[in-house]
């Protein structure tokens, strides 16, 4: 029987002397929830977990793309597409994109994530040449003016190559490095940090009746396998972030199950990136049909994730997220 170990995370700054640090960051734990596919969850002392699990849960995460993983980081979304679900067409020219990048940096973004292919439900694949045309000039313009880390949101090796040549620092693949077999070796050869995300199906089909045996454990197993595959391809595990892929082939119930126990993914020994910003389930639960009205709900979920030790928040609303995070940290002490 395979067991999974979720740290029961605490953020009280008055931590006990025997508390275990979570990923070397701001949170801690003394207990874990033991999960399996065959029995009910059990709550036990963290010291009952296997030694290798405790090592992955407690060890400090190295910097990624120059970002310290011992504090929450904000990844600002810059979609240079005509058809993204929330901001399509708003920044799809280099001049407009550069203005938005400046604004996000001023609002407190730590890294900017640039995407030239919409991955909204039902979106069609964008040809490689078009995706490069949309993204590379924007990255070059930003890099010419700012030192902020830049992530390229792509499934394709030629797009990543053009982005890195233009000044990109990190590859964020929503397909979990399963779409283009050349992408992982390219990242390994060039020593690039990566983010590997779970998705069930591709954007065109992913929301057509998604099903899981156990969504939390299925997503964990997928990410565990993909991290191992990236390591086998030569990517340093210390340079891998994981993303459970909220909204990518998931129902509202699936999303909530992942968010409720997202701390499980710390057991992979990698920083966790969470992208929930303005997604449909936030509109459904928060009574906000229009994506632009979902900032409050997006921030609420982001803060709940930070309270579980999530290191990177991928957001549209940088100002609101940074402001809320500053207050959360101040009140927490």
Residues designated as active site: 279, 314
What does the radius of gyration of the chain's CA atoms come to, in whole angstroms? 19
Backbone phi, psi, residue 273, to 5°: -110, 135
Cβ atoms < 10 Å from Cβ of 234: 12
Cβ atoms < 10 Å from Cβ of 147: 10
146: its two tokens: 């700012």
21: its two tokens: 């640090």
State the Cα–Cα distance between residues 50 and 167, nearest whole angstrom.
42
Cβ atoms < 10 Å from Cβ of 109: 24
Distances (CA, A) of 41 to 7, 33, 139, 200, 314: 12, 6, 46, 25, 30
Contacting residues for 158 by C-beta, under 8 A, at least 6 apart: 128, 132
Terminal-to-terminal C-alpha distance of the chain: 41
**Residue owning tokens 């029987």:** 1
290, burial (CB in 10 Å: exposed 0-12, middle 13-18, buried 19+): exposed
SS3 177: coil
Q: H or E element: which one contains 264? A: none
29: its two tokens: 């734990």
């Amino acid at each position: 029987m395979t067991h999974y170990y979720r740290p029961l995370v605490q953020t009280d700054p008055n931590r006990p002397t025997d508390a275990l640090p979570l990923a070397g960051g701001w949170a801690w734990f003394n207990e874990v929830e033991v999960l399996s596919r065959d029995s009910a969850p059990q709550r036990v002392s963290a010291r009952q977990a296997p030694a290798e699990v405790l090592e992955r849960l407690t060890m400090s995460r190295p910097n990624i793309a120059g970002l310290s993983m011992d504090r929450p980081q904000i990844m600002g979304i810059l979609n240079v597409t005509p058809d993204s679900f929330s901001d399509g067409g708003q920044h799809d020219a280099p001049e407009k994109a550069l203005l938005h990048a400046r604004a996000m940096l001023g609002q407190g973004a730590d890294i900017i994530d640039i995407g030239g292919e919409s991955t909204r439900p039902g979106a069609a694949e964008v040809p490689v040449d078009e995706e490069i045309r949309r993204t590379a000039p924007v990255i070059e313009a930003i890099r010419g003016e700012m030192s902020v880390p830049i992530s390229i949101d792509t499934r394709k090796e030629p797009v990543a190559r053009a982005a890195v040549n233009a000044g990109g620092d990190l590859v964020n693949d929503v397909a979990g490095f399963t779409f283009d077999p050349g992408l992982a070796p390219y990242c390994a050869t060039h020593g690039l940090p990566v983010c590997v995300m779970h998705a069930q199906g591709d954007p065109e089909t992913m929301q057509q009746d998604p099903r899981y045996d156990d969504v939390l454990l299925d997503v964990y197993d997928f990410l565990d396998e993909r991290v191992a595959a990236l390591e086998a391809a030569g990517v340093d595990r210390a340079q891998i972030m994981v993303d459970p892929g909220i909204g990518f082939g998931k129902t509202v119930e699936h999303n909530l199950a992942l968010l409720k126990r997202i701390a499980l993914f710390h057991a992979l020994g990698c920083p966790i990136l969470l992208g929930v910003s303005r997604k449909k389930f936030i509109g459904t639960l928060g009574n906000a049909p229009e994506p632009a009205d979902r900032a409050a709900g997006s921030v609420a979920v982001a803060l709940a994730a930070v309270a579980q030790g999530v290191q990177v928040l991928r957001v549209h609303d940088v100002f609101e997220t940074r402001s809320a995070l500053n207050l959360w940290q101040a009140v927490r002490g």
